[in-house]
Amino acid sequence: MKLCVFSNDSIQDYFNKGEIKERYFNPNNLFKEIHIFSPTENDVEATKVKKISGNAKLEIYPIGKLNLLNFKSKFNDVLEIIKRIRPDVIRAYNPLMQGWLATKIAKELSIPVVVSIHNNYDKDKRQFYKRNKNYRQYLKFLYTERFIERYVILNATKIICAYRFLVPYVKRLGGKEIDVIYNRVDLTNFSPDIKPELSFNKKTIICVSRLDAEKNQECLIKSIKDLNVKLILIGKGSLYEKYNQLVNKLGINDKVMFIKSVPNEKLARYYNSADIFASPIKQGGVSIPMIEAMACGLPLIISSREDGEHEDIDEVVMFAENNPEDFKKAIIILLNEPTLCKEMIRKGLEKVKILNGEIMEKKEESLYKEILK
């Protein structure tokens, strides 16, 4: 069987971030061929990233960067390639330009199409940009809502939500065939027993995420200003320089360590260098680093859910209102209550057993088999 994939980012980007994961596009080696349509002019050689396709033959087709002005012009060229491939299923990793191409072509060729949703575009994009007065981006996502997202969601054979926070958004746009399958994390690479990479003489907080406004590391930086702790921030992003300047302004250079990138296979060593994982994210859901950190035996502090939303990890984490003072209070509680920490760690290690990559991979494989009957 053959699968065509419209990836969210270029495969080179995944490679650069150290996020080339075994069988990522081919759960349990279900497919014999994986064909990836990548939104870039030039992509990494398939031989360098072969493990994302497992045992399957891997082909990568750079189709150029996509934007609202050019994405429809790609249709005919990509359609002809897919006609030659003759896939059994098409998969898109967002409901935007890639999703439109995947869904439109699938409809043209009467092929089932699976669309992954990793953002609640109502809250993560439209509401976020409107609140922050970024009206250019807000108008862009108003357009995609009306003319792209709705079309993709209404015409997808199956929709995979990466966490429950996304389901109301999908239902609002008319989605019906919805499965919640959390992001796959290979727990063999994450354990409390893995040797730490770093050693400090004070308690340490870690956050792994892009340095962008919606991830809100500014809250975390300000929260530790008066605490005798170390903060490790792993990730690149548009606010890297701004956050470095903030650290300088607050006079806490000795407390904050910025690390732009760590290969996935080494991440556990950094988690295990810390005592607490904290994420003041302004988005909902469950991020991959949250699951990884729990698997490494860290207690989690995350920002409070909005609108009573619930995820499978919620009973084993500590919530804080999304401001520096509340995160500071939560950190102090965990630093001063080792018994509570141990209980959160124990419950977290139990919880990740039902969220581990093997279970999620099997769910994804079963979904494909269901639509291929």
Residue 114, sorted as left (phi over 0), alpha (psi -120 to 50) or beta, turns out to be: beta
Are 290 and 279 a contacting pair, CB within 8 Å?
Answer: yes
- Residues 71-101 have pLDDT tens digits of 999 999 999 999 999 999 999 999 999 999 9
Give the end-to-end CA distance of the chain in Å, rounded to a whole number. 12
Cα 246 to Cα 260: distance, rounded to the nearest angstrom: 17
- Residues 106-123 have pLDDT tens digits of 999 999 999 999 999 998
Task: For residue 298, report the phi and psi dihedrals to the nearest 5 degrees.
Answer: -105, 140
Identify the band that residue 146 occupies on the pLDDT scale cut at 50, 70 and 90. Answer: very high
Rounded average pLDDT over 54-61: 97
Question: What's the confidence (pLDDT) of residue 308?
Answer: 62
The structural domains of the chain, ordered by start, are 2-184+357-372 (3.40.50.2000), 187-354 (3.40.50.2000)
- Residues 2-43 have pLDDT tens digits of 999 999 999 998 888 777 888 999 999 999 999 999 999 999
CA neighbor of 56 nearest in space, from 89, 80, 78: 89
Cα 95 to Cα 114: distance, rounded to the nearest angstrom: 10
Has residue 293 got a pLDDT over 80?
A: yes
**Residues, the chain:** 373
Token pair, residue 234, equals 């792993």
Rounded average pLDDT over 154-165: 95
CA neighbor of 227 nearest in space, from 196, 254, 197: 254
**Whole-prediction pTM value?**
0.85
Has residue 233 got a pLDDT over 90?
A: yes
Between the CA of residue 310 and those of 181, 214, 307, 313, what are the distances in Å? Answer: 15, 19, 9, 8
